[in-house]
Chain A
C-alpha cells in the first residue's frame, strides 16, 4: 500500500531564511508526487509535481522540490521564506496503474514564518 510521511508537524523559520518541508514516501511502482499548500479557510493549492525527468522540480511562488529515489524523499524547499508562506503544506503521492485516480496525502506540516 502506498503511504506518505511528513515527519514534522510544524516548521518555524525566520523570514529570509531557507525553508525546507520534508516528505518521504513508500509505494510499489513509480511514484507521481505532488505538493499542495492550504491557507486558512481555503482549499488546497497545487504547488508542483514530479512525474519523471529532472529530479529538481520548480513550482509556483518560488518553491522547488527535489526527488530522491534512493532515499524515497521529495522535500519541498524555498531559498528565502516570506511571512506569507505561513500555511499548511501537504505532500501527496499517486501511483501509476493504481486503481482509480487517488491521492494519498501526508499528515501535513504547518509552516510558520516569523518576521
Chain B
C-alpha cells in the first residue's frame, strides 16, 4: 500500500472545466512534488514545495496552479487544459525533518490519470 494518497484516480474533463487533484501524506515529510508522466516515459517534474513554500516551478503553464494548504496536503488546480495535458499526474513526498533533502528517496502516490476531451 502506498503512503501517499492521490484522489481522484481517474479524471475526465473538458477544456473549459476547472478541477483539482489532491495529494495527502502522513509521513511528516517536508518536501512534496508534482510530476507529469506520459505513457512509457519518465516522470517530468512540475513543482516542488519545501516546508510548504513553492521552491521549484519548472516553467509550467499557468493553467496548472499548485497549492500546499499544510504540510500534509498538496493540490493541483487545473483550468482550461489542452488535450496534450492528458497524462498520469504523480505526487511524491520526501525528507523527514532533520534529514538532508538531497539524499532522501521520494515516495510516490499511484497517480491521477487525467484525460482532456
Q: A49-B105, A110-B40 are in contact. Are A101 and B90 (CB under 8 A)?
A: no
Closest Cβ neighbor of B43 among chain A residues: A105
Q: A43-B2, A43-B108 are in contact. Are A102 and B40 (CB under 8 A)?
A: no
Interface residues of A (CB under 8 A from B): 32, 34, 36, 41-46, 49, 51, 88, 90, 94, 96-103, 105-108, 110
Q: Is the interface of A mostly helix, strand, loop or mixed?
A: loop
Among B4, B42, B48, B103, the residue within 8 A (CB) of A107 is B42
Min CB distance A112 to B, Å, is: 13
Is B109 positioned at the interface, with any CB of A under 8 Å from its CB? yes
Is B15 positioned at the interface, with any CB of A under 8 Å from its CB? no
- Within 32-84 of B, Cβ neighbours of A (below 8 Å) are at 40-43, 45, 48, 50, 55-56
The tally of CB-CB contacts under 8 A between chains A and B is 63
Closest Cβ neighbor of B31 among chain A residues: A101
Task: For the complex, count residues of B whose C-beta is within 8 A of A.
Answer: 26
Contact B41 A108, beta carbon cutoff 8 Å: yes
Q: A41-B110, A101-B56, A101-B94 are in contact. Are A32 and B103 (CB under 8 A)?
A: yes
Interface residues of B (CB under 8 A from A): 2, 4, 31, 40-43, 45, 48, 50, 55-56, 90, 92, 94-95, 101-103, 105-111
8 other A-B residue contacts (CB within 8 Å) besides A42-B110, A105-B43: A32-B102, A49-B105, A51-B103, A90-B42, A100-B48, A100-B56, A101-B95, A108-B41
Q: How far is the CA of A106 from the CA of B40 in the complex (A)?
A: 12
Closest Cβ neighbor of B111 among chain A residues: A43
Closest Cβ neighbor of A101 among chain B residues: B101
Q: A34-B105, A43-B4, A94-B102 are in contact. Are A102 and B48 (CB under 8 A)?
A: yes
Min CB distance B71 to A, Å, is: 15
Among A101, A107, A108, the residue within 8 A (CB) of B55 is A101
Q: How far is the CA of A109 from the CA of B43 in the complex (A)?
A: 13
Min CB distance B87 to A, Å, is: 13
Closest Cβ neighbor of A46 among chain B residues: B105
Residues of A close to B110: CB separation below 8 A = 41-43
Contact B41 A102, beta carbon cutoff 8 Å: no
Residues of B close to A49: CB separation below 8 A = 103, 105
